[in-house]
Structure 1
Amino acid sequence: MFAKTSLSGFPEWLPEGRIIENAILDHLRKTFELHGFASLETRSVETLDELQRKGETSKEVYILNRLQELKEERSSKKERPLGLHFDLTVPFARFVIENAGSLAFPFRRYQIQKVWRGERPQDGRFREFMQADIDIVGDGALAFHHEVELPLVMIEALSGLPIPPVTVLVNNRKVVQGFCEGIGIESVEDALRAIDKLDKIGAEGVMAEMLENGISAEQGEKLLEMAAIRVESGVTDAVLALGVDNETLRAGLEELDALLIAATKRAPGRVVADLKIARGLDYYTGSVYETVLEGHEDLGSICSGGRYDSLATNGKRTYPGVGLSIGVSRLVSRILGQELVHASRSVPSCVLVAVNDEEHRSEADDIAYALRSRGIPTEVSPNSAKFGKQIKFADKRGIPFVWFTNEEGVSTVKDIRTGEQVEADAATWMPPATDLLPTVVK
């Protein structure tokens, strides 16, 4: 279901793979809209100033240039440098600021688009890929309960896909901020940047990096103890048992506990507090989330995000938000690569109308038109070869039914999977509901 491509990092799926991807996207749209999220699409390019507004220089932004401008080498007024967006959060923040007067807050949006990053391609990581985001943004303030709501919406969305169960790992910026302050660490970002690598380089590697950044061995050991906490409940007791306590830490633990309590009610066993999660803390200010696929932990997080308070601001007003993003291409690549599911057929066509001879092709076209007018995906045989060859053509494409009309004008439809053939009228015949459209099968 993968198509061969001469450029690495730019995935192309074969038709069956696209059917699976579209089924996933359709399900995500349906779930997001069920929860009141409005569809939004932003432009693919942003100014470099906007893309680098929060210091996101590590995303390897693709620069956009006009060929003619590169050739001219002129000294006249230059256009503002542009780049392809590397995620959907930064352009969404810009959109909110520019259109705040036309939006009703809290504003709930979902966005499904491609993004681009000049990264080294590897398993599940691409240079061009599809993301599906949901965000809730407020005007000046945003209630904490939205931080509880979003991961539960994502669990519902992902649970409806033909994939193994998912677990959402949660942490809170206030917890790690307060803990670091409580043990005297001044450079919180350095500490958390090291902790975030725990799964990659292990405790020894993390400790070495912290020592290089001026964090003492005693502080590092304490931080590693905190990072080792992974519980479905009782996170406050687990953290306070380490002997660290302050107001910021307490505030974060209260929020984290509230999230876990709600998740236990709505999605038992699906949300776990994992205090080594430290992603994106350059702009996340509250809850942070990562999502792993059971049995496929090597793939990394397939859905991540968090609370941000100052990403969207125009200097006068601030629009705090919370969001989550699914790496759709990463998920699809694993589904196709390990054949976790397959499509019932590789084309949308449910019926192939056989052609007796080229002189009567228009009659076959009439039947196809009648079937399509009733919502039945239909194509007409590309040639008038012997019926056996036309049936083989349908079988190769996965089309389940072939329609025949004899010289007397009597029509029959054949299920080429079973060999059953019955008389049929194009004005009334319907295929079984399970055959009307391609389906995704585990």
Structure 2
Amino acid sequence: MSKIAPISGFPEYSPAQRIVEQRFLDVIRETFELHGFCSIETRAIEPVERLRAQGEDADKEIYGISRLAAYAEEVRWGLHFDLTVPFARYVLENAGTLDFPFRRYQIQKAWRGERPQEGRYREFTQADIDVVDVGMLAPHFEAEIPLVVADVFAKFPIGDFVIQVNNRKLANGFFAGLGIADIAGTLRIIDKLDKIGPDAVRDLLIEGGASAAQAQACLRLAEIRTPDLAFIEQVRALGVEHPLLDEGIDALAQVIEIAAHNAPGKVVAALKIARGLDYYTGTVYETQIVGQESWGAVCSGGRYDALASDGKTTYPGVGISIGVSRILGLLFGLDRLTASRATPSAVLVAVNDEADRPRSTAIATALRARGIPCEVAPKADKFGKQIRYADRRGIPFVWFPHADGDQVKDIRSGDQTPVDAAEWSPPDDDLRAAIVLR
């Protein structure tokens, strides 16, 4: 028998960590639905050629799928490395039954073949929202997306955050106005700014064919960061002109202006944001946790115009993805979060003796019918052992069945009171396991 060992990049959470994850997912799902997004789920695999079409580095990220009995055959399918590509395919396949503009959210696993490290995994959970329409997508949707994210992150127990926004038209128009030929390559290099620093980025730009003056102008653009419309004047001061640049400035201004009214202080214009994926064509987003900027983006996305197209009709969209596993992995690594208990149970119903277990089970059934999570003691041990069992699991209350009237004990305070299963409820704070900040 082979030795059991963990596989790096495939996180498995403890029960307490899993409770924390579920609370985060509850917040995400409930907030997405508050904003009118409906849920879908797509298959785990896509044709390899479709996944490969999303960028020059896609091959490095795709896990191929084939039967062991047919391992020598050409790999036709791969696990999806994000949720946007399968969503675009879903829209094309189901366009005849969807109501547009279509607002969807999707919370699923994805797989990416990269080197595992802190906050980066080979298997991870993402939570996405997108809005797609037929032929044309109104620009106000690009301004709506960061408002949804701000609403979600404000409910997370993670401290302050900032949503950085740029526009690919602004960047593309600026590079074109400078006379740079390889605009896509320039974007990919600028996207490495936080990882390798401005000097290394300058060198890569020059190696890629830019002059020293062009490289310096690109870096000056990337330095612009404002919480308001002041970015417009700063971009104009660089002296570059191009029609696409004008479009990008106007589009970004609309996003920043709407955010300033609806999520003040949470959205900034940050012109270094590029996003490396080739399918983005308009607004792009990256969210960071204040004080943990070294983590990089924990939520990102943007507008795409040609990702979903059948050759006759195009379905432009805009969306964003929350890196759930990334956020939780980083917080767990810092030991910042745990759950108030390692089980959903708020009550342990004690068992007097095995002959009396049906009575304890009936009490538990009555409590569950009223929405109180509970479990029956696994053994009819002495009550002291049953209390210690509850204490080890973090269960706050133990219910004692008695012929002359049941009693419940708060094992933290020692208080014990008469109760009726048809009426008693634990305090609201004890009903569900909660997230505890350290």
Residues 13, 80 of structure 1: alpha-carbon distance in 2 compared, 3 angstrom cutoff: closer
Specify the alignment match of 1:60 in structure 2.
61
Q: Which runs of 5+ in 2 are unaligned?
A: none
> What's the offset of the Cα at 1:80?
6.9
Specify the alignment match of 1:259 in structure 2.
255
- Name the amino acid aligned to 2:37: F
Taking every aligned residue pair, what percent have the same amino acid on both sides? 54
SS class of match (2:17): helix
Residue 347 (structure 2) pairs with residue 351 (structure 1): yes
- Name the amino acid aligned to 1:388: G
Specify the alignment match of 1:298 in structure 2.
294
- 1:59/1:86 contact within 8 Å kept: no
Specify the alignment match of 1:111 in structure 2.
106
1:303-318 matches, within 5 Å, as 303-318=299-314
Residue 428 (structure 2) pairs with residue 433 (structure 1): yes
Alignment counterpart, residue 289 of structure 1, candidates 267, 282, 285: 285
1:356-375 matches, within 5 Å, as 356-375=352-371
- Name the amino acid aligned to 2:206: L
Q: CA RMSD in A?
A: 1.4
> How many equivalent pairs are there?
432
Q: Partners of 2:86 and 2:155 in 1: how far apart?
A: 28
> What's the offset of the Cα at 1:282?
1.3
- 1:391/1:402 contact within 8 Å kept: yes
SS class of match (1:396): helix
Q: Which runs of 5+ in 1 are unaligned?
A: none
- Name the amino acid aligned to 1:221: Q
SS class of match (2:248): helix
Compute the TM-score of the two structures, normalised by the length of structure 1: 0.95
Q: Partners of 1:37 and 1:148 in 2: how far apart?
A: 16
SS class of match (2:163): strand
Specify the alignment match of 1:162 in structure 2.
157
**Does 48-57 or 362-371 show the bigger shift?**
48-57
Q: Partners of 1:398 and 1:339 in 2: how far apart?
A: 19
Specify the alignment match of 1:30 in structure 2.
30
Residue 327 (structure 2) pairs with residue 326 (structure 1): no
> What's the offset of the Cα at 1:218?
1.0
> What's the offset of the Cα at 1:439?
1.4
Residue 196 (structure 2) pairs with residue 216 (structure 1): no
Q: Deviations over 1:110-129 (max 9, x none)?
A: 00000001110001000000
**Does 338-347 or 250-259 show the bigger shift?**
338-347
1:67-78 matches, within 5 Å, as 67-70=68-71
Specify the alignment match of 1:417 in structure 2.
412
> What's the offset of the Cα at 1:181?
1.0
- 1:110/1:132 contact within 8 Å kept: yes
> What's the offset of the Cα at 1:46?
0.9
Q: Partners of 1:356 and 1:382 in 2: how far apart?
A: 11
- 1:135/1:321 contact within 8 Å kept: yes
- Name the amino acid aligned to 2:170: V
- Name the amino acid aligned to 1:156: D
Q: Partners of 1:68 and 1:260 in 2: how far apart?
A: 55
**Does 321-330 or 217-226 show the bigger shift?**
217-226
- 1:189/1:281 contact within 8 Å kept: no
> What's the offset of the Cα at 1:58?
4.5
**Does 328-337 or 98-107 show the bigger shift?**
328-337
1:6-405 matches, within 5 Å, as 6-55=6-55, 57-70=58-71, 81-233=76-228, 234-280=230-276, 282-405=278-401
Q: Partners of 1:44 and 1:290 in 2: how far apart?
A: 25
- 2:64/2:75 contact within 8 Å kept: no
Q: Partners of 2:5 and 2:429 in 1: how far apart?
A: 33
SS class of match (2:95): helix
- 2:187/2:276 contact within 8 Å kept: no
Q: Deviations over 1:181-233 (max 9, x none)?
A: 11111111122222111112222111111111111111111111111111112
SS class of match (1:316): coil
Compute the TM-score of the two structures, normalised by the length of structure 2: 0.96
- 1:286/1:307 contact within 8 Å kept: yes
> What's the offset of the Cα at 1:40?
0.5
